[in-house]
Amino acid sequence: MRILHTSDWHIGRSFHGHSTLPALREVLDALTDQVRDNSVDLVIVAGDVFDSSTPPAECYTLLTDTLSGLADAGAAVVVTSGNHDSAARLGFQSGLLRSGIHVLTDPATLDAPITLTDAHGPVHVYGIPYLEPALLRRTWPGEKLRTQHDAIAHAMGLIRADRATRGGRSIVVSHCFAAGVDPTPGLERDIQQGGLDVVPLAEFEGIDYVALGHIHGRQQLAPTVRYAGAPLHYSFGEADKPRGSWLVDLSANGEASVAWLDLPIPRRLVTIRGTLDDLCSGADHEHAANAWVRAEYTDATPQRDPLRRLQARFPFCAAVVHAPESRHDRDEQTYAGRVRTAQTHVELIDAFLAHVREGEGASEAEAALIADVLADRAVAEALA
């Protein structure tokens, strides 16, 4: 059986105030082409289909069009919910979808697999929606579920019990933070510190293939335990992460051979750095003219209206950061120390400028202006 593993579509997410729906539609159309071109039997979407629990209507349109396109390409589809999704809203339409498209959002039925067959027999697909321990007390009364690890462990116990009676090959789809992954800071929410929500890989042992979602970069935790990552870049922190999906061939005995399929990147993400004048006119940055741009300008002082100036050259400049070059020396006197040792008002102002500019004091022109102002002040005080 041939499987395409994708996840974290985040339909409806914005990128620095810009809608990502047109770009995501382009990428999901390309993913549908991958399904058709590679004769895929099953597409797995491992959670975070939407970016919020209340997506706008156009997000549902994109989802419906994509699921229909995948089915038209000849694949069955299994979708699970993630922490960004509303399981109730995502699951509501499951009964309205055409045959072959399965949306699994109910933890009470996670041990009832979707069973597909090929020439070698059945393949059982178990979908584990995102499990919030505090919300599972009614589903599994009497179970002590303090962490997501507890919840996944209980879920996998139920799945193993069902699998033992069915036999055959098995796939588990889960949206969680598994041990050994490297999250993108600020992107994967609800990842807690101290290992509270980390799920050890041992919980997934014995499964022929584990399709994970939640982490936005592709990662291989074991040969048969993988994250596909998001199909679109949603942060400049993701700029170096490839976008694509895993193509999995499941053999007759359950062995999985896996290959990566790249997806197109509608617009590259680039970070450029330099003085504002250099960024606005320097030839070194011509490569970023049509990219999403994050500009770090290194002028000693904040400049007026930098975003407007940069967008005149980079129409897709989305973020501007003032990041002056640091001139601090480890042996340099502290700001408080310079203030204490200042003998004149000129030295005091210079100490302040050096502090806010990360080491650079007044220029010659500024020093002259400061001297003139202080002189005028002295005259005014003398005449008062």
The verdict on residue 330 lying in a domain is no
- Domain C-terminal end among 215, 246, 262: 262
The answer to whether position 328 is within a domain reads no
Which of 48, 97, 105 shows the shortest CA–CA distance to 77?
A: 97
Q: How far apart are CA 283 and CA 86, in angstroms?
A: 48
Residues 115 and 156 grouped into a single domain:
yes
Q: Which two tokens stand for residue 137?
A: 């007390």
**Per-residue burial over 76-87, b = 16 or more CB atoms within 10 Å of its CB, e = otherwise:** bbbbbbbbbbeb
Residue 49's SS3 state is coil
Report the C-alpha gap between 124 and 113 in whole angstroms: 6
In a domain, residue 147? The reply is yes
Q: Say yes or no: 276 and 145 in one domain.
A: no
- Please give the pLDDT value at position 380: 73
Of 300, 322, 344, the domain-final residue: 322
One domain for residues 28 and 131: yes
Helix (H, G, I), strand (E, B) or coil at 149: helix
Identify whether residues 216 and 183 lie together within a single domain.
yes
Domain that holds residue 284: 269-322
**Is 342 inside any structural domain?**
yes
Residue that finishes a domain, picked among 241, 262, 283? 262
Whole-number pLDDT of residue 369: 86
Decide: 124 and 169 in contact? Cβ < 8 Å. Answer: yes
The per-residue pLDDT for 350 is: 77
**In degrees rounded to 5, what are phi and psi of residue 3?**
-125, 140
Query: By the 8 A CB rule, do 4 and 36 touch?
Result: no
CB 78 within 8 A of CB 123: no
Mode of pairing for the β-strands spanning 317-322 and 244-250: unpaired
Tell me, what's the pLDDT at 370?
Answer: 82
The per-residue pLDDT for 223 is 95
**Domain presence at residue 217:** yes
Asked if 169 and 299 sit in the same domain, the reply is no
Examine residue 327 and state whether it is found in any structural domain, yes or no. Answer: no
Q: Are residues 126 and 254 in the same domain?
A: yes
Judgement on whether residues 215 and 287 belong to the same structural domain of the protein? no
Q: What is the pLDDT of residue 242?
A: 94
160 within some domain: yes
Same domain, 309 and 218: no
**Looking at the domain assignment, is residue 329 inside a domain?**
no
Contact 256, 204 (CB under 8 A): no
**Mean pLDDT for each consecutive 10-residue tract of the chain (384 residues)?**
97 94 98 97 96 91 94 96 82 68 93 96 96 89 89 96 94 91 54 61 95 94 95 92 96 95 96 95 91 94 93 96 69 66 78 70 79 76 70
pTM for the whole structure: 0.81
Is 243 in the same domain as 273?
no
Alpha-carbon span 371 to 379, nearest angstrom: 12
Side chain identity at 298, as an amino acid letter?
T
Q: What distance in Å separates the CA atoms of residue 118 and residue 123, rounded to the nearest whole number?
A: 8
Please check whether residue 324 is in contact with residue 299, taking contact to mean a CB–CB distance below 8 angstroms. yes
pLDDT at 330 (0 to 100)? 42
Report strand pairing: 292-297 vs 114-118.
unpaired
pLDDT score, position 120 = 94
Residues 6+ positions from 297 with CB-CB distance below 8 Å: 273, 274, 275, 276, 279, 303, 306, 320, 321, 322, 323
pLDDT at 251: 95
As for how many domains the chain has, the answer is 3
Identity at 259, one-letter amino acid code: A
Task: Indicate if 245 and 291 belong to the same structural domain.
Answer: no
* Claim to verify: residue 165 and residue 26 sit in the same structural domain: yes
pLDDT in tens, 94-152: 555 678 999 999 999 999 999 999 999 999 999 999 998 888 888 999 888 888 899 99
Q: Which residue has the tokens 């993108």?
A: 184
Same domain for 149 and 12: yes
Say which CATH number the domain at 13 has: 3.60.21.10
Task: Give the up-direction half-sphere exposure of residue 174: CA atoms within 13 A in the CB hemisphere.
Answer: 27
Tally of CB atoms within 10 A around 268: 14
